């Protein structure tokens, strides 16, 4: 593998050790509830308004949506609903006879409540509201609330509220940061605690989710966005460059990687990135991210697959001649985008796949947000008398070997063994 451009960035000093500060915030909310949340909202966001957004404000935000934006959000929600409904249909209650008279089953039960965190920092993200809320709804979650930070003295950004109104979310809270996660985990005045928290956020949100996992379920720990593009000589340099820039503009810490099977293409993409950056209204974040974190290498397909599987990127783009044939080589990624027409940005917004995905290499052991995030697999067992006898004959030697006579007793009593 020949590196043509390497990333140079390090973890920013400000985010290296935030655990003590986040712990203070979490513990303050645990002790003081709403009072602490209000204090942190005042300190971090300069916000002193109502924590819960009124239904009138939510409805007003929807009415203010530009028609084209509203239409696009509606279709995006429909596409996400279609794909996530399909996911739910795969998870059916099933029973199998594992041996004569022994029946084992599984079902998938939704959690009772979930909170969707919708970021509101540099960019308002109504698309994240759609991804989280629709996945939870298709799973069958009864109570879905939204947490989104205030963008000013009037509360959350209007386009986020408008999207939440379209999704018929009745309970929306103008709270962000670690205090929002703690409020969801413990509950505060007017807000009951939830079972699961899903959605990306800044480093403070992520650290709070990490600290509170166990007290509440979480979808994962989100970090800076990532894309790895594998491209061969059939790929268009401008399209590859556009996918790299699309992820780079998320955050100065975002990582964009090109693994090119064609050296000339790699050089062309470098030139195209510079050209396209010049066409952005404000290329600052994208340029900083690409300069510090962008990687370009020339390699074989086998080397590309080995590298990608090791990195386990959030997004994998296969801009190659036969992407379907190449896909089995790649085992660790959040979501893959196949072929020249499949922009990774489609998945961010409207295609139906979810954009809340594992980052930081966690795709090695985790997947993205889906209906299963809000479902609990529950197994059940039933036996007849014949099955009980067969199981007791097998189970009692094991319980005896483990030195657990109570287990032996529970099995023998089922089949009428006299221990007097």
| Active site amino acids | 314-315
116 three-class SS: strand
264's tokens: 């000339």
> In whole angstroms, how far apart are CA 106 and each of 9, 112, 282, 373, 382?
47, 19, 52, 16, 12
Rg of the chain taking only CA atoms, in angstroms: 25
Residue written as token pair 């460059």: 241
Q: Are 57 and 156 in contact (CB under 8 A)?
A: no
**Which 3 state secondary structure label does DSSP give 336?**
strand
Please check whether residue 11 is in contact with residue 120, taking contact to mean a CB–CB distance below 8 angstroms.
Answer: no
Rounded CA-CA distance 151/174 in Å is 9
- Is 236 within 8 Å of 261 (Cβ atoms)? no
d(CA 236, CA 256): 17
């Amino acid at each position: 593998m020949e590196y043509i451009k390497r990333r140079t960035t390090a973890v920013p000093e400000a985010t290296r050790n935030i655990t003590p500060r986040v712990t203070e915030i979490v513990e303050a909310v645990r002790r003081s509830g709403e009072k602490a949340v209000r204090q942190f909202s005042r300190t971090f966001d300069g916000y002193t308004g109502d924590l819960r957004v009124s239904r009138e404000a939510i409805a007003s935000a929807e009415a203010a949506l530009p028609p084209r934006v509203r239409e696009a959000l509606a279709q995006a929600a429909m596409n996400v609903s279609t794909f996530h409904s399909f996911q739910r249909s795969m998870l059916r209650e099933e029973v199998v006879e594992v041996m004569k008279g022994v029946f084992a089953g599984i079902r998938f039960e939704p959690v009772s409540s979930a909170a969707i965190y919708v970021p509101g920092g540099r960019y308002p993200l109504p698309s994240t509201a759609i991804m989280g809320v629709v996945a939870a709804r298709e799973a069958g979650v009864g109570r879905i609330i939204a947490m989104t930070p205030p963008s000013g003295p009037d509360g959350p950004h209007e386009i986020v509220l408008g999207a939440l109104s379209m999704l018929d979310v009745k309970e929306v809270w103008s709270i962000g940061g670690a205090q929002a996660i703690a409020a969801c985990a413990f509950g505060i005045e007017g807000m009951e605690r939830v079972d699961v928290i899903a959605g990306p956020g800044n480093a403070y949100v992520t650290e709070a989710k990490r600290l509170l996992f166990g007290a509440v379920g979480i979808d994962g720990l989100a970090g800076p966005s990532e894309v790895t593009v594998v491209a061969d000589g059939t790929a268009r340099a401008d399209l590859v460059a556009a996918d790299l820039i699309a992820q780079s503009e998320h955050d100065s810490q975002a990582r964009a990687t090109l693994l090119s099977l064609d050296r000339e293409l790699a050089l062309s993409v470098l030139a195209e990135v510079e050209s396209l950056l010049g066409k952005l209204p404000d290329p600052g974040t994208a340029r900083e991210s690409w300069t510090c974190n962008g990687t370009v290498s020339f390699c074989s397909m086998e080397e590309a697959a080995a590298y990608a599987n090791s990195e386990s990127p959030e997004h994998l783009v296969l801009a190659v001649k036969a992407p379907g044939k190449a896909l089995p080589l790649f085992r660790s990624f959040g979501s893959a985008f196949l072929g020249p027409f499949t922009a990774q940005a489609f998945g961010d917004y409207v295609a139906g796949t979810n954009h809340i995905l594992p980052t930081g290499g966690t795709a090695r052991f985790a997947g993205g947000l889906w209906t299963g995030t809000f479902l609990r697999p529950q197994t059940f067992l039933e036996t007849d008398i014949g099955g009980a006898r067969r199981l007791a004959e097998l189970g009692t030697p094991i319980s005896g070997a483990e030195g657990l006579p109570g287990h032996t007793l529970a099995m023998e009593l089922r089949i009428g063994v006299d221990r007097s």
